[in-house]
Amino acid sequence: MRRYLDLETIIRPIVDGLGYTFIGLECFPSNSGTVLRVYIDIKHGVGIDDCKKVSYQINQVLSVEGGLKNNYTLEVSSPGLDRKLYSVDQCIAQIGKVIKLSLAYPIAARRNFKGILRDVRGEQLMLEIDGGQEMLFNFVDVTRAQVVTKW
């Protein structure tokens, strides 16, 4: 889950220095180059002015430091209700909630699991799936973890 550590080492201090919490980032190709999406949070909730402020600072630093080899579009956003989980610490805060996991390698011919996050044990997530069955997943094997919001 930690594919963009070089970008994170540039961006995290900017976000933290502005008083926000760095949640995570995604980087993926688009027709016009690369999309760099940065997720931030703050106690009072993230608004458009917060995103503009952080976006401006990140753009300033990336224009000097580099970090991306081609054209990029920067998007700064709140993590939202269906937030992605980028670290074990973020998972701890979601114990008791329903989450979805995608794995790099299948377990019993499955890569995708959904269930209640019951516990975090070191670097392992315990999920209650399929009507009460508990399974442990190594966080390093998780390619995507996300909170599931019930409406």
For 114-136, what is each residue's pLDDT tens digit? 999 999 999 999 999 987 899 99
- What's the CATH code, domain 5-77? 3.30.300.70
Q: In Å, how far are 13, 45, 76 from 49, measured between CA atoms? A: 19, 11, 11
CATH class of 88-147: mainly beta
Largest pairwise CA distance in the chain: 52
Q: Say what the alpha-carbon torsion angle 69, 32, 12, 41 is, to the nearest 10 degrees.
A: 180
Q: How confident is the model at residue 4 (pLDDT cuts 50, 70, 90)?
A: low
Q: Which residues pair with 37 in a beta bridge?
A: 26, 75
Q: Cite the residue boundaries of each domain of the chain with CATH code 2.30.30.180.
A: 88-147
Phi, psi of 15 (to 5 degrees): -60, -50
User: Stretch 41-59: mean pLDDT, rounded?
Assistant: 95
pLDDT at 67: 64
Q: In what order do the strands lie in the sheet with 33-41?
A: 21-30, 33-41, 72-77
- Whether residue 12 contacts residue 58, with contact meaning beta carbons closer than 8 Å, is answered with no
Model pTM score: 0.81
Q: Cite the residue boundaries of each domain of the chain with CATH code 3.30.300.70.
A: 5-77
